[in-house]
Amino acid sequence: VISGKIVVFGSYINDLVGRGPDLPRPGETVKGTLFQMGPGGKGFNQAVAARRAAGDVVFITKVGPGLFGDLALTNIKTEGISLTYVFRNPEIETGTALITVNEKTGQNQILVTIGACGTITEKEIAKARTDIVSADIILMQFETNMDAIAKTIKMANRAKVPIILNPAPVQEISDDLLPLVDIITPNETEASVLSGVKVDGLSSVHEAAQFFLDKGLKKVVITLGEKGVYARTEDDEIFLPAVDYAPVVDTTGAGDAFNGVLAVALAQGRDFFEAVRFSNVAASLSTSRYGSSKSMPCRDEIERYYNL
């Protein structure tokens, strides 16, 4: 474990994944080739990515009752992540994602029902306060209830803990919260919705990033899928193409690999653009295997490819 505490505040979701050569259009039924169930959720995936990259991770989430809730606890523990802040709602089911993956392209479609992780209370956040305010970095997404996100952002910001916000799945965020975020990491769609600039090329990506800088954020990363990643600060910018080490079989969780590893690299003290390059390697590696949290690479592997 490297020094630097990373708090991940986010979802745990049970992923139900079907693969097939073609994905159904509305009203259509198509036959798939493989079904798998596995642990996911943007919060958990990012926590696993950070943990496997040797981060000291504290995970805050909420799961439901019964078998799926119990399974979540087992899966979280198996990754070496503490259950201290894994809260439970006895009535609302653990979040579920219905994921279809096109096996020709590795692209996915996801319908996520956040369930229990949409019911995080103020009291639960208060229980995690000591760890939130003493973190070196906090990493958040949009798969929990917005009031809990708002409360946690304010708590972290007051304690001067840098906040990375991965605004996925995209949702409006109020103008008083956005400036409290240090680094925002949308993908193209999320950047387009939030900034109002249609992101479809390098000049529009620059313009969308400017929108966030104008709002008071310090750094912006826009992930561009198979095209790579763009990162911008007030004075500098880079574009890194995706690295293709191996054939892409499943892009689920690639953004999460990026965010989890970015948090570790920054907590470890790497320069921002170097951290982006390191995380870009991790994201590419994750697309070469099936699954969401299961596809996260280990630190050795990231370093090996990073140093190529």
Nearest approach, Cβ of residue 161 and ligand RIB (Å): 23
Nearest approach, Cβ of residue 99 and ligand RIB (Å): 6
**Tokens 């020094």 belong to residue:** 3
Compute the residue count for the chain.
308
Q: What are 102's strand-pairing partners?
A: 20
Task: Determine the size of the site formed for ligand RIB (CB under 6 A).
Answer: 15
Binding residues for ligand RIB restricted to 271-300, rule: CB under 6 A: 292
Nearest approach, Cβ of residue 106 and ligand RIB (Å): 13
Binding residues for ligand RIB restricted to 45-64, rule: CB under 6 A: 45
Nearest approach, Cβ of residue 303 and ligand RIB (Å): 24
Nearer to ligand RIB, 89 or 94 (CB): 94
The span from the CA of 52 to the CA of 5, in Å, is: 14
Q: Residue from 112, 161, 173, 263 that binds ligand RIB (CB under 6 A)?
A: 112
Task: State the binding string over 75-104 for ligand RIB (x if CB under 6 A, else -).
Answer: ----------------------x-------
The span from the CA of 254 to the CA of 251, in Å, is: 5
Nearer to ligand RIB, 143 or 188 (CB): 143
- Chain-centroid distance of CA 270 in Å reads 20
Binding residues for ligand RIB restricted to 119-148, rule: CB under 6 A: 143
The span from the CA of 60 to the CA of 140, in Å, is: 10
Q: What is the pairing mode between strands 94-102 and 86-88?
A: unpaired
Nearer to ligand RIB, 136 or 256 (CB): 256
In sequence order, the 6+-apart residues with CB closer than 8 A to the CB of 287 are: 106, 248, 249, 250, 251, 254, 295
Nearest approach, Cβ of residue 83 and ligand RIB (Å): 19
Q: Residue from 252, 280, 284, 295 that binds ligand RIB (CB under 6 A)?
A: 252
- What are the DSSP E strand ranges found in the chain? 5-9, 13-20, 34-40, 56-63, 86-88, 94-102, 108-115, 137-141, 163-166, 183-184, 219-223, 229-232, 237-240
In sequence order, the 6+-apart residues with CB closer than 8 A to the CB of 215 are: 175, 178, 179
Nearer to ligand RIB, 112 or 194 (CB): 112
Per CB under 6 A, 13 contacts ligand RIB: yes
Binding residues for ligand RIB restricted to 21-50, rule: CB under 6 A: 40-42, 45
Active site residue 256: yes
How many CA atoms within 13 Å lie on the side-chain side of 280? Answer: 26
- 80: tokens are 């070496």
What phi and psi, each to the nearest 5 degrees, are found at residue 30? -130, 155
Active site residues: 256
Provide the binding-site residues for ligand RIB, judged by CB under 6 A: 13, 15, 40-42, 45, 97, 110, 112, 143, 252-253, 255-256, 292
